[in-house]
């Protein structure tokens, strides 16, 4: 049900983008310039606001989670990355987490066997599809820089060339287009096909999947099927980034669907689970060193407690203590 | 609002801004030229004299988006079916065209650098066709 609602929502967005793109010049200006600017400002501002909110929440305990031997006695082998002790170890651990999705790699499948025996099996598909999805998304975004830089840098050209090395058709097929749409499709099927996962899936899980699929699909349609004048698209893109916006009228409506879905994605980003892009860096279970035996982690919530020391106590009661024959430290 | 661990977090935000705003500051203060493919080659002028107008094998708007696809179709048609003549759909009165990259398109568009490359460089499109097919000689380019 939630999946169907999200699907209809994205279809509606496609329709809005299409109608906007087919309308007169002022509406096209709204969809080609005003909405993208607004969405971009909201994306950058919103993401920073979310990060500041996280940064203002204290971490009361050292809650690092580890999967390796803590640094202890010199003759016990220390697992430097799984249970990092130094800042360097933490950096390596975070890099592996962000670039290789290490904790997702440990994903397990729990099965109940006959006689109530529980067994854990490998479940690497989620990790693989997640990695494939994120990397193809990043590569596509990087390739899109050709619309935003006048003299396209060599790095972008090389990526373009490697991505189309299969030399299928004209214009050449990009491998990442196939991988992106395939991986998003898998991630969706996983959510509906596995009962436990379907049970915990919300509209907020389906909606971004459909939205990203929509962006990819409209891009693919534009490149291989319906075509649009992409020379004019570059003029629009360059106009946006140099604050001299133009909306050439040779751009087809499909581009406006692409751009509108993208604007929605950007605006939705800081409000949704997609902020994990920034959040992953701030996960205390990953980014703290496991040095709680060596370094005292002071809870920032601690308020100043009035402590009455023994010395003060003795000062208060010295006479009475002497009378009662109790030993005192100072005469 | 008290900020904890501000140092690395602000550094991270700076890196994020540097990436997100890259296109803006990278292009700052530059003047952007748009490509203007030239269609004034001798072959096209001859065609204009004979037929009274400049025209491509199909309408200009259609060619903009679809020329790579038609080249692909031409290639298949010639190499697989041995069919070398192309009848235009949008110019029904035009004489059939020779389905060929080198002696079709490039006969009219003999100014590759000022035509095909003008657009392709703008968007960094690098057709690999010229690994095998021969580019038209462009004398005026050599001089300048
Ligand atoms: C999250 C951001 C975006 C994603 C995931 C995305 C995705 C895609 C994909 C998968 C394609 C198919 C062809 C290819 O891979 O190059 C494509 C094409 C295209 N995209 Fe995007 N896109 C994004 C942002 C943008 C933006 C900001 C623009 C505005 C300039 C844009 C304009 C285009 C155009 C004009 C094409 C057709 C390219 C061609 O015909 O070669 N896209 N997009």
For residue range B58-102, list pLDDT tens digits in order: 998 889 889 999 999 999 999 999 988 898 888 888 888 999 999
CA distances from A25 to A21, A97, A127, A230 (A): 9, 47, 45, 18
Distance, in Å, from the CA atom of A165 to the CA atom of A180, rounded to the nearest integer, reads: 17
Q: How far is the CA of A219 from the centre of ligand 1 (A)?
A: 5
DSSP state letter for A271: G
Those residues of chain A whose CB sits closer than 8 Å to some CB in chain B are 43-44, 47-48, 51-52, 55-59, 145-150, 152, 156-157, 160-161, 167, 169-171, 227-231, 234-235, 238, 241-242, 250, 278, 281-282, 300
How much is the pLDDT for A154? 93
Residue A100 tokens read as 């290789």
Going by pLDDT thresholds of 50, 70 and 90, the confidence category of residue A91 is: very high
Closest CA to A251 of A21, A2, A9, A16: A21
Quick one: pLDDT at residue B139?
A: 62
- What's the rounded mean pLDDT across residues A263-292? 94
Q: How confident is the model at residue A92 (pLDDT cuts 50, 70, 90)?
A: very high
Q: How many CA atoms lie within 13 A of B33 on its CB side?
A: 8
Q: Which residues pair with B86 in a beta bridge?
A: B97
Instruction: Provide the pLDDT for residue B143.
Output: 40
Q: Report CA torsion sign: A14, A18, A147, B63.
A: positive
Contacts of B13 in chain A (CB under 8 A): 48, 51
pLDDT at B16 over 90: yes
- Verify whether ligand 1 is closer than 6 Å to residue A264 (CB atom): no
**Residues A194-250: tens digit of each pLDDT:** 998 999 999 999 999 999 999 999 999 999 998 888 999 999 999 999 999 999 988
Residue B140 has a pLDDT of 56
**pLDDT tens profile A70-84:** 999 999 999 999 999
pLDDT of residue A142 exceeding 60 = yes
pLDDT at residue number B138: 73
CA of A144 to the centre of ligand 1 (A): 6
The domain spans of chain A are 2-323
Q: Which residues pair with A122 in a beta bridge?
A: A108
- Residue range A105-134, pLDDT digits in tens: 988 888 888 888 888 888 899 999 999 999
Q: Tokens 């992106």 sit at which residue?
A: A180
What percent of chain A is predicted at pLDDT more than 70?
Answer: 100
Give the pLDDT of residue A119.
86
Average pLDDT of the segment spanning A27-36: 96
Per-residue pLDDT at A218 = 96
Q: How far does the CA of residue B18 sit from the closest CA of chain A (Å)? A: 11
Residue in B13, B6, B8 with CA at minimum distance from that of residue A58 = B6
CA distance A151 to A149: 6
Share of chain B above pLDDT 90, in %: 42
Distance from CA of A140 to the nearest CA of B (A): 15
Assign B144 a pLDDT band (cuts: 50, 70, 90): very low
Model pLDDT, residue A5: 95
What are φ and ψ of residue B43, in 5° steps? -65, -40
pTM of the model: 0.90
Identify the residue whose C-alpha is closest to ligand 1 atom 28.
A259
Q: Could you give the angle at the alpha carbon of A263 between the alpha carbons of A258 and A269, nearest 5°?
A: 125
d(CA A124, CA A126): 6
- A150 CB neighbours in chain B (<8 A) are 27, 30, 32-33
SS (H, E, C) A94-144: HHHHHHHCHHHHCCEEEEEEHHHEEEEEECCHHHHHHHHHHHHHHHHHHHH
A177 lines ligand 1 (CB under 6 A): yes
Distance CA B41, CA B32 (A): 26
Range from A38-42, A44-48, A60-64 carrying the lowest mean pLDDT: A60-64
Task: Look at residue A224 in the predicted model and tell me its pLDDT.
Answer: 92
Q: Is A7 helix (H, G, I), strand (E, B) or coil?
A: helix
The pLDDT of B109-131, averaged and rounded, is 91
CA-to-CA dists, residue B58 to B39, B67, B86, B109, angstroms = 14, 9, 11, 14
The whole-angstrom distance between residue A129's C-alpha and the CA centroid of its chain comes to: 15
According to the model, what pLDDT value does residue B142 have?
45
CA distance A102 to A104: 5
Q: Among partner residues B69, B72, B124, which is closest to A156 by beta-carbon distance?
A: B124
Spell out the CATH class of A2-323.
mainly alpha
pLDDT for the residue numbered A315: 92
């Amino acid at each position: 049900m939630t999946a169907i609602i999200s699907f209809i929502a994205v279809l509606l967005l496609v329709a809005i983008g299409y109608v906007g793109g087919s309308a007169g010049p002022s509406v096209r200006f709204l969809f080609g310039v005003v909405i993208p600017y607004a969405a971009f400002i909201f994306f950058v501002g919103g993401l920073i606001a979310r990060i500041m909110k996280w940064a203002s929440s204290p971490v009361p305990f050292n809650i690092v989670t580890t999967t390796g031997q803590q640094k202890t006695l010199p003759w016990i082998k220390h697992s430097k990355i799984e249970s990092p002790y130094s800042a360097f170890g933490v950096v390596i651990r975070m890099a592996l987490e962000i670039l290789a999705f290490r904790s997702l790699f440990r994903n397990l499948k729990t099965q109940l066997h006959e006689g109530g025996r529980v067994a854990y099996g490998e479940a690497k598909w989620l990790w693989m599809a997640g990695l494939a999805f994120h990397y193809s998304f990043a590569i596509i975004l990087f390739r899109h820089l050709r619309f935003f830089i006048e003299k396209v840098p060599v790095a972008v050209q090389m990526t373009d060339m490697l991505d189309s090395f299969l030399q299928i058709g004209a214009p050449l097929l990009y491998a990442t287009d196939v991988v992106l749409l395939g991986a998003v499709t898998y991630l969706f099927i996983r959510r509906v096909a596995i009962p436990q996962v379907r049970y915990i899936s919300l509209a907020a899980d389906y909606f971004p999947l459909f939205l990203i699929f929509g962006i990819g699909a409209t891009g693919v349609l534009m490149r291989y099927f319906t075509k649009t004048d992409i020379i004019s698209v570059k003029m629009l893109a360059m106009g946006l980034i140099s604050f001299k916006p133009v909306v050439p009228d040779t751009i087809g409506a499909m581009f406006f669907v692409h751009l509108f879905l993208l604007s929605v994605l950007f605006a939705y980003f800081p409000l949704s689970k997609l902020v994990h892009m920034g959040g992953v860096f701030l996960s205390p279970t990953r980014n703290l060193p496991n040095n709680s035996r060596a370094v005292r982690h002071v809870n920032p919530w601690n308020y100043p407690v009035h402590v009455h020391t023994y010395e003060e106590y003795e000062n208060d009661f010295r006479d009475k203590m002497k009378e009662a024959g109790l030993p005192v430290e100072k005469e | 609002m008290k900020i904890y661990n501000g140092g690395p977090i602000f550094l991270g935000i700076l890196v994020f801004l540097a990436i997100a705003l890259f296109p803006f500051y990278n292009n700052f203060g530059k003047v952007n030229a748009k490509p203007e493919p030239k269609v004034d080659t001798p072959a096209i002028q001859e065609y204009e004299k004979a037929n009274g107008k400049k025209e491509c094998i199909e309408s200009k708007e259609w060619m903009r988006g679809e020329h790579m696809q038609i080249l692909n179709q031409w290639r298949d048609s010639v190499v697989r079916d041995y069919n070398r003549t192309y009848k235009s759909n949008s110019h029904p009165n035009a004489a059939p065209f020779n389905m060929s990259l080198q002696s079709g398109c490039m006969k009219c568009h003999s100014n590759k650098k000022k035509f095909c490359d003008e657009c392709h460089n703008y968007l960094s499109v690098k057709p690999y066709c010229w690994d095998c097919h021969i580019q038209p000689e462009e004398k005026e380019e050599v001089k300048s």
